[in-house]
Structure 1
């Protein structure tokens, strides 16, 4: 693939809106009311979402994300709040539902699961040529998504306590009825039949509640990879997007990739959620544990030809070296807490690093 024919990649990032002490603030209705395109509300009023344009150049994507973050930051400041790139809130919070009929239905049907969820993820959209290609990609990349989760882990605190997890957001997301990894689909018709069945049965309200780790987007000609916590700094999203694009490239061109049972994939995701990069990760194809840096290197080696074709290898290797050296967002949150044992410090440190 020539550089001129690279796949598009776009990123959606969810953020906490917090007050001067780091406590989530129900400001989204005011903050997003005057927002330009690319800044939207979410389920709870203590959060907001930004979305980039689809880009082929990572430099343009990085600029897009920075512009969106700064724009959201300015809107937030106008209403006395700040923006924090954290997967969950370290401070105690009682979320406030955004006034939307669909969200009200979600709380009615899913009760506490919907009412108390306050999590922020990073979703990467990678362009595909057809739904058939998208299904081949979704099937192929499943064994590697737990590595992306481990690299992005940025949510150790929940309701004022250290959960012991690197990504507790993952544990909260897994409460939804059809979140997480998927088994193999034969074709787009089988995928769509499953989604239609889940809607007819009342298990989910609509296609927007297909919370698979990787899904066919209902709005764009993309595969949407939803496994990552939001990053504190925008550069983390750019590196994640590059890895996702090269995974999609590789799975689409080297068909078929080996598959693993959903039970093993879920177990691998649990280990990534629990330990991030500080413990062993699981190779779902063999079931064997291995040191996290080894598993990360396996991912890079697997997609290296695509990273080179896309011109992304140097950026990705630099970003991975940094996260392996300084730790994931979860480790940095714990470091911020350890300085004064203050959860407020954790949030305000994230606010500053994300500017």
Structure 2
């Protein structure tokens, strides 16, 4: 069984829809709930939520929903609201206060090292943790799970605007993050030992602190031992999150079975995966995808149909398979949240109205699908 956990970086906004600093030093009655934790991030306008370890996708979505509600109430206790997207469409990073100084040594160290790279990386991501049984070939799975990172980025893309400008991309977030060193698609590693040796060398020469791991699009987590997929933008729709989690979970399960049967295909290079990542960032779900196993290009419907056919046998039963197949079909028709946000901003031609619309999307708890059980 593969266990699941999600982290979300949630934007905190004021009554005008602009990012605002949240004070974590103030007491909040719901500071600890069974569904997970809330924490600060380097920018003070962020609440990071972390779910508990979950065994099914509906269980995970329920935890995400409850933590969003908790974040919403925590923000409301300071006269604030929440907003969920990969980047705030209009706020300027220069105006955002940070957790820095002697009270926050971890963040102070990052700011000292990365300067305006860290100050300007005002982005909001969703991270999925996949937990495996002891002895599972995590590195072999990670090497191949890299292949589908562009696809889940496209499904999550929600950051077309930056400081009030249409960037022309579906995910501008990675334009901010990829300025850090040691970011993006990871290299291929022969084993967990090789990977850990590299991390240890980076720590030895001072590139990483002792308590710090790599920040790439997928990593072997340095404390939890999970495979952490970090490539996704945050997305306001729980149904889309459920689809992304399901696809990644079934892909990991399929890879595990293929490795056990010695049926694994070739591992793609970082350079090849970055080509599809660029297409996902630029065009979202309107792109054409490169299959590097065949050196061929296919449309989004054809590409996702091929992927779906390969992993759908991991469904528990026909009901589950049909449910997520419909969710995928709907997603490919709907496009990205970047598409929707662009249309809304163009239609309203008023940033205040668009920000109010975005805030309303996460203003109430969203019903989680309960009739699909994932084992």
TM over 0.5: yes
CA shift, 1:33, in A, is 6.0
The match for 2:79 is 80
The match for 1:3 is none
The match for 1:317 is 325
2:230 to 201, 226, 230: 226
The match for 1:269 is 277
Question: Matches of 1:101 and 1:182 in 2, distance apart?
Answer: 28
Answer yes or no: is 1:353 the counterpart of 2:353. no
The match for 2:8 is 13
CA shift, 1:311, in A, is 7.3
Answer yes or no: is 1:106 the counterpart of 2:110. yes
Question: Matches of 2:341 and 2:306 in 1, distance apart?
Answer: 27
Answer yes or no: is 1:290 the counterpart of 2:304. no
Preserved contact between residue 85 and residue 233 of structure 2 (Cα < 8 Å)? yes
Preserved contact between residue 123 and residue 227 of structure 1 (Cα < 8 Å)? yes
The match for 1:249 is 253
The match for 1:301 is 309
The match for 1:97 is 98
1:183 to 164, 183, 187: 187
Aligned residues: 350
Cα separation, partners in 2 of 1:33 and 1:179, compared to 1, 3 Å: farther
- Structure 1 residues 221-266: Cα deviation after superposition (integer angstroms, max 9, x where no partner): 3211111111112222222111111111111221234211111111
Question: Matches of 2:116 and 2:27 in 1, distance apart?
Answer: 25
Structure 1 residue ranges, 4+ long, deviating more than 4 angstroms after superposition: 30-34, 308-312
SS at 1:208 equivalent: coil
- Structure 1 residues 117-163: Cα deviation after superposition (integer angstroms, max 9, x where no partner): 11111111111123651111101111111111111111111111111
The match for 2:215 is 211
SS at 2:90 equivalent: coil
Question: Matches of 2:132 and 2:205 in 1, distance apart?
Answer: 30
Preserved contact between residue 242 and residue 307 of structure 1 (Cα < 8 Å)? no
The match for 1:52 is 51
Q: What is the TM-score with the length of structure 1 in the denominator?
A: 0.92
Preserved contact between residue 129 and residue 221 of structure 1 (Cα < 8 Å)? no
Question: Matches of 2:174 and 2:82 in 1, distance apart?
Answer: 21
Question: Matches of 1:342 and 1:131 in 2, distance apart?
Answer: 54
Q: What is the TM-score with the length of structure 2 in the denominator?
A: 0.87
Q: Pick the structure with greater CA Rg.
A: 2
Mark the runs of 5 or more structure 1 residues left unpaired by the alignment: 1-5
- Structure 1 residues 172-217: Cα deviation after superposition (integer angstroms, max 9, x where no partner): 1111111111222111110101111222333333553411221112
CA shift, 1:312, in A, is 4.5
Preserved contact between residue 19 and residue 82 of structure 1 (Cα < 8 Å)? yes
